[in-house]
Amino acid sequence: MTDRRRTPMNTRVAAAHLADVPAGLEPIEGTAARIGVPVADLLRAPDGVRDRQLVYGEPVTVYEDREGWSFLQAAKDAYVGYVPSAALTAPFDATHWVSASATHAYSDDDFKSPETHALSHGSRVQVLGGTGRFLQTNLGFIPARHLSPLGAHAADPVAVAELFLGTPYLWGGNSRFGIDCSGLMQAALLACGTACPGDSDMQEAELGEAVTSKDYQRGDLLFWKGHVAMVRDAGTLIHANAHDMAVAIEPIGVAIERIAAQGDGPVTAHKRLA
């Protein structure tokens, strides 16, 4: 059975590259675009529930633009869904990504100048010039310390996850303005150059190798039914969770007992990344 979350097909159109396009659907090659707002909800249907989010500059392929809604697939993890067509912009040559937890673009190379945009970690921009404290981008001037060139990856996913400490919990969230458990794992791993799907069940199935002992090592992933956390050290983990309603650090044993007591069951997998 195909997973609708990663199958670019709705009741009218289907990506032309799919092996078996059902009769009656129009095969579409797709059009490149980028997210043109700080954060866009990726919805299951027009005006439907949020599945995930996309942040500024993320590349997407649009398969349908209908009645103000674009049906698209994200490049980072192949997730499909709908965003308002107005949230998209034409493709541009991104050169850098926001490697700080968040940043602002300013109207001038001066932190006292009016800010023009608020951007989350992971946003992509095009640097046009500048070699000092600020870099000029397609959105304005951004502190140079908050940007890294595309292809320059972080070394430690736990350190990336810690950038999000205190971020409000948001179901389906993928930004510094609100994030959920799988969104946090994805942000941490993508920043380090490790491919990562969007939802925790996909992550459990596709990431790392199973560990059968309780030998917890930094960067290990712990999974429950519908939840994921990252081991910070032998005694603590970091996760976005609805108990704290934020990204928080918690003792591993306390988290395991609490989650079980809430009725969500035991740890279903302990995975170690290569």
pLDDT tens for 183-207 read: 999 999 999 999 999 999 999 999 9
In this structure, the answer to whether residues 121 and 220 fall within a common structural domain is no
In this structure, the answer to whether residues 259 and 190 fall within a common structural domain is yes
Decide if pLDDT at 238 tops 80: yes
Decide if pLDDT at 93 tops 70: yes
In this structure, the answer to whether residues 127 and 71 fall within a common structural domain is no
Say how far apart CA 47 and CA 72 lie, in whole Å.
15
Question: Rounded mean pLDDT of 40-60?
Answer: 98
| Structure-block tokens of residue 26 | 């129009």
In this structure, the answer to whether residues 215 and 179 fall within a common structural domain is yes
In this structure, the answer to whether residues 127 and 85 fall within a common structural domain is no
Tell me which of 109, 125, 149 is where a domain ends: 149
In this structure, the answer to whether residues 188 and 254 fall within a common structural domain is yes
The CATH code of the domain that includes 129 is 2.30.30
Partnered with residue 224 across adjacent β-strands are 227
In this structure, the answer to whether residues 164 and 264 fall within a common structural domain is yes
> What integer best gives the mean pLDDT of the chain?
97
In this structure, the answer to whether residues 171 and 232 fall within a common structural domain is yes
Residue 227's closest CA among 167, 159, 169, 154?
169
Tell me which of 89, 111, 136 is where a domain ends: 89
Decide if pLDDT at 131 tops 80: no
In this structure, the answer to whether residues 162 and 65 fall within a common structural domain is no
In this structure, the answer to whether residues 124 and 51 fall within a common structural domain is no
DSSP letter for 145, please: G
In this structure, the answer to whether residues 216 and 117 fall within a common structural domain is no
Residue 53, pLDDT score: 98
Question: Rounded mean pLDDT of 99-109?
Answer: 97
Say how far apart CA 151 and CA 139 lie, in whole Å.
21
Q: Which residues contact 1 (CB under 8 A, 6 or more apart)?
A: none
The CATH code of the domain that includes 66 is 2.30.30.40
Decide if pLDDT at 165 tops 90: yes
> Could you give the maximum distance between any two Cα atoms of the chain, in Å?
58
**Inter-residue contact 80 to 7 (CB < 8 Å):** yes
Question: Rounded mean pLDDT of 156-167?
Answer: 98
Domain count, the chain: 3
Instruction: Look at strands 26-28 and 13-15 and give their pairing.
Output: parallel
Full residue range of the structural domain in which residue 83 is found: 4-89
Going by pLDDT thresholds of 50, 70 and 90, the confidence category of residue 2 is: confident
Question: Rounded mean pLDDT of 171-180?
Answer: 98
Residue 274, pLDDT score: 84
In this structure, the answer to whether residues 174 and 138 fall within a common structural domain is no
Residue 1, pLDDT score: 65
Tell me which of 131, 149, 167 is where a domain ends: 149
Residue 243, pLDDT score: 97
**Inter-residue contact 44 to 4 (CB < 8 Å):** no
The CATH code of the domain that includes 244 is 3.90.1720.10
